[in-house]
Chain A
């Protein structure tokens, strides 16, 4: 068992080291949601209109609404960044080294996944601190309750990233993935607008948003910040996590996956 933990600690340590040394990455991760919050949301303050949807019990400003979506965006970008580093690792050969460790493949990949999630959680709390200074606050216990929610959403998004990493052959293809994954996933969710707002413009859009797992990740975080558990959303998040982790493990299987394909 200690070998398992030692491996996990090593992977986490490597990711933490990468996080500390790459200050630009940390700043970039913060700047992106802050621009959305301070520029985009400020412009939309009056335009969103008013309606109360759970977990909110009263009227809120658009800035307050958008924060959980931006948190999930931080995790989404982080997951993609981790996936990118996996592709890079594979190109450089360190991935092969990692996967040849005398431990189950799933454990190594899960450790890698968890390391990414921890980094994303650090980024999220830094973002929440800035939002707090800006005047957007949540119930004090909401910050604590958000932690397990962030873990769940981070794992789900990380698993998606892991799966993508298992299917991408070369680093150059990753930009395409960013365009084809991040933007549709983010915009077709409840990150920026509530479902009722989507339904006003198109029923189809609303349904796509309702099915999008990213929506459920956003809602798990949103509810947790207000000390509430959204079981349905958590169920979908867990299911998506399990599905994509399984697909990623399959993808990284040398017998069938990309490792095999790349060898040809």
Chain B
């Protein structure tokens, strides 16, 4: 009897909370909203009101909550994925722009653009546990899979700062091209990629020696070199490809992440900024700031398939897999 009752309540629970489909969340910088795109239908299904000037956006590793940098409110908002409600605000330091979540799912490393500081936030205690002075206008953030190294790129100092996550100390600085915007480690932690917006290149470093392995350059016919400005990018898990948003060039570059050869360009909306990739790595979602839309690129067919309108100045993008 007990078993039957348990089975019934389990069934009731399942019926009460329908499984969520795959989604991509987009932060709209000028609208103070998040647009939610349903991946199967490729349509915006919901828009959530959030804090002022939303930029950096990511999910917790268990995909139960979303974290959002509400830059002008100087806070990080925690949003329940199921109810879409803002659960609470977290301290972030002044003007948080981007962040990265440590593999422990507990510590968020934040770039405080105006204060030249990297803050480390404990999401359970809801306190800032460390503040590390870095270069001018910190922006890009990355933490390796082992959780031992955090990277902060500083836009004006043109550096990638290597920070020990145990001691909270910078142990190395790598000079990169002008205005570094984004950083990511390969899935094996052996290489670090850093984009330089004004410099126009994508720098690759060996994490062991911290030597620069390559600088990937982009040339697009009919696009002025000044308009080729690498910003956000995504590496595939197998480390074979890296997709690079090229800002006002309105293109996403497809790059061989082993040979560093540029394989081609996809046309997307105006001033493409950041991107999210589906878990099976078959779809890429790019935020096109000026045109206010998101272009969906089918990575199997190797072509953009749809562009959907979102809010004004979409900035960040985060992918959430379907509930199993």
Contact = CB atoms under 8 A, between A and B. Distances in A.
Contacts of A59: 250, 267-269, 295, 304, 307
B2 to A, nearest CB: 54
Contacts of B296: 58
Contact of B250 (A42, A50, A52): A50
Contact of B269 (A45, A46, A50, A61): A50
A147 to B, nearest CB: 24
Contact of A50 (B222, B291, B304): B291
Contacts of B306: 57-58
B20 interface: no
Nearest to B293: A52
Interface in A8-61: 42, 45-46, 50, 52, 57-61
Interface in B206-230: 222-223
Contacts of A42: 222
Contacts of B304: 58-59
Contacts of B250: 50, 59
Contacts of B295: 58-59
Contact of A46 (B222, B270, B307): B222
A58 B222 contact: no
Contact of A60 (B222, B223, B267): B267
A58 B303 CA distance: 10
Contacts of B307: 52, 57-59
Contacts of A45: 222
Contacts of B268: 58-59
Contacts, number: 29
Q: DSSP majority for the A interface?
A: loop
Which residue, of A42, A52, A58, has the highest number of chain B Cβ atoms within 10 A?
A58
B305 A61 contact: no
Nearest to B42: A57
Q: Number of contact residues on B: which range applies?
A: 10 to 19
A60 B296 CA distance: 13
B223 A61 contact: no
A241 B268 CA distance: 39
A46 B270 CA distance: 12
A45 B267 CA distance: 12
Contacts of A57: 305-307
Interface string B79-95: 00000000000000000
Interface in B231-268: 250, 267-268
A79 to B, nearest CB: 34
Interface in A44-96: 45-46, 50, 52, 57-61
B285 to A, nearest CB: 12
B293 to A, nearest CB: 8
Nearest to B306: A57
A1 B72 CA distance: 81
Nearest to A46: B222
B278 to A, nearest CB: 17
A60 B251 CA distance: 11
B43 to A, nearest CB: 12
Contacts of A46: 222-223
Nearest to A45: B222
A58 B305 contact: yes
Interface string B296-320: 1000000011110000000000000
26 contacts: A42-B222, A45-B222, A46-B222, A46-B223, A50-B250, A50-B269, A50-B270, A50-B291, A52-B307, A57-B305, A57-B306, A57-B307, A58-B267, A58-B268, A58-B295, A58-B296, A58-B304, A58-B305, A58-B306, A58-B307, A59-B250, A59-B267, A59-B268, A59-B269, A59-B304, A59-B307
Given A52-B307, A58-B268, A59-B269, 17 more contacts: A45-B222, A46-B222, A50-B250, A50-B269, A50-B270, A50-B291, A57-B305, A57-B306, A57-B307, A58-B304, A58-B305, A59-B267, A59-B268, A59-B295, A59-B304, A60-B267, A61-B267
7 smallest CB-CB distances across A and B, nearest first, come from: A58-B307, A57-B306, A58-B304, A59-B267, A45-B222, A46-B222, A58-B306
